[in-house]
Amino acid sequence: MRHTKCIIAAAALLAFPCLTRADQVYAENFDTDQTPFWTFNSSAGSGDLAADNSNNEADYHFDYSTVGIPSADGPGGSTFGLKVEANIPGTGVFEGCSASPTGLTLPDQYILHVKVWQNTIGPMPSGGSGSTQVTNLAVGVSGTSAEFPGTGEGGVQLGVTGDGGSTQDWRLYTGSFPDGAGSTIVPSAHPGTYAAGDAADANGKDPRAAENVYYTTRFPGQSPPAAQAGLFPSQTGTTENGAPAFAWHDWVMVKASDQITVYVDGKLIGTVNSSLFPTFAGNNFALGQADINATSSADSNARSLLFGLFDDVQVESIPEPASMSLLLMGGIALLTQRRRPRPA
């Protein structure tokens, strides 16, 4: 049994660097109102405020139990988080927003962990009118401008639709936009970027589509929580496999000097090499939401149901190369020691 555990531990250390925890440099759980300490940035311009009931919104101390969402920490845990909304009250425009800790300067290399819940409008699996929006997480940003592909992007961003309602549901962006202004990174043009592959799967599904077998086998469809369904009659059915809505997921971005690696629930989503991000706008991160379609929701409960939700943000430094080498050597040495044959 010990021999097996050593093999698993060494393999995990080598294959999933974000499991190697180091010093914590930032943390926030939104259990207290963070409005004074965060900056809201909107594609609608500086006149759009975080709580003015128009365009885009952010609530830094939102009690998500009020819409039937369970605690990110499990039963009995806190139910406060950052709620981010796009396109309020629903005018059929392409816009988005992001929020960042004010004045935060992170080290050049770090690991960002965030618990993310994406809520959308039923009935599932097709979703209600205007249900397709993108929740995003970005690193290497200034924290003073909207991390939204339609108006700009300062670093590297993961964007995911909650309901799987796009042909590009799992998206990677970079500020250099190598494949055109505002566009996602194209898999075929940059081999190895998406873990789902560089070309369509056997069913013809794009490596960015929720229907791609890579995502359907890793992210099974979910139903709205019972408490939410009890409050809102539209919240019925189950999302398609590959769509991440209606569940808490652990989003992780590892920002190293030569690449940025993205994981969701420990599953590799993509690797963005340094050739795709020649410069960064800053040393902050951003959490955001975007409406990617020129449509709007006709559901009167849209504001209660269509949003991105963030909780338990943690940033940790990446061990120095020497420390990482020692960790790896220690794991390999332990593995070697366990594999030595016993004396006759």
pLDDT tens-digit series, residues 2-11: 333 333 333 3
Give me the sign of the Cα torsion angle 222, 226, 228, 230. Answer: positive
Q: Which of 228, 263, 256, 233 is nearest to 318 (CA)?
A: 256
pLDDT band at 151 (very low <50, low <70, confident <90, very high): confident
The band of 319, judged by pLDDT with boundaries at 50, 70 and 90, is confident
| pLDDT digit string, tens, across residues 6-25 | 333 333 344 444 444 569 99
pLDDT tier, 298 (very low <50, low <70, confident <90, very high otherwise): low
Higher pLDDT, 277 or 286: 286
Residue 89 confidence class, pLDDT cut points 50, 70, 90: confident
The average pLDDT across 301-319 equals 94
Question: Do 59 and 309 touch, CB atoms closer than 8 A?
Answer: no
**Helices and strands: H and E segment counts in the chain:** 5, 14
Distance in angstroms (rounded) separating the CA atoms of residues 159 and 180: 17
The pair of structure tokens assigned to 86 is: 């796009």
Q: What is the mean pLDDT of the chain?
A: 87
The answer to whether the CB of 57 falls within 8 A of the CB of 51 is: yes
Residue 174 has φ and ψ, to the nearest 5°, of -145, 150
The answer to whether 88 touches 53, Cβ cutoff 8 Å, is: yes
| Structure-block tokens of residue 207 | 């490596």
What is residue 77's DSSP assignment? -
Closest CA to 169 of 127, 191, 136, 130: 136
Q: What is the pLDDT of residue 12?
A: 36
Q: Quick one: three-class SS letters along 262-286?
A: EEECCEEEEEEEHHHCCCCCCCEEE
pLDDT above 50 for 233: yes
Tokens found for residue 145: 């401008």
Chain region(s) in the chain for CATH 2.60.120.560 = 22-318
Residue 253's DSSP bridge partners are 112, 262
Give every CB contact of residue 247 below 8 A, 6+ residues apart in sequence: 117, 222
Helix axes 2-15, 321-339, angle to 10 degrees: 150
Helical residues (DSSP H) of 73-191, grouped into ranges? none
User: How many whole angstroms separate alpha carbon 2 and alpha carbon 304?
Assistant: 50
- Cis check for the bond before 125: say yes or no (omega within 30 of 0): yes
pLDDT of residue 294: 63
22-318 topology per CATH: Jelly Rolls (2.60.120)
At 122-150, the pLDDT tens digits run 999 999 888 999 999 999 999 999 998 87
pTM listed for this prediction: 0.87
Share of the chain above pLDDT 70, in %: 84
In this predicted structure, what is the pLDDT of residue 320?
66
Kindly state the tokens that stand for 26. 């930032």
pLDDT digits (tens, 9 = 90+) for 185-229: 999 999 999 999 999 999 999 999 999 999 999 999 999 999 999
pLDDT at 339 over 70: no
What's the average model confidence in pLDDT over 148-173?
92
The answer for 195, left when phi > 0, alpha when psi is -120 to 50, beta otherwise, is alpha
CB-CB contact of 298 with 142 (8 Å):
no
| Residue in the block written with tokens 């311009």 | 45
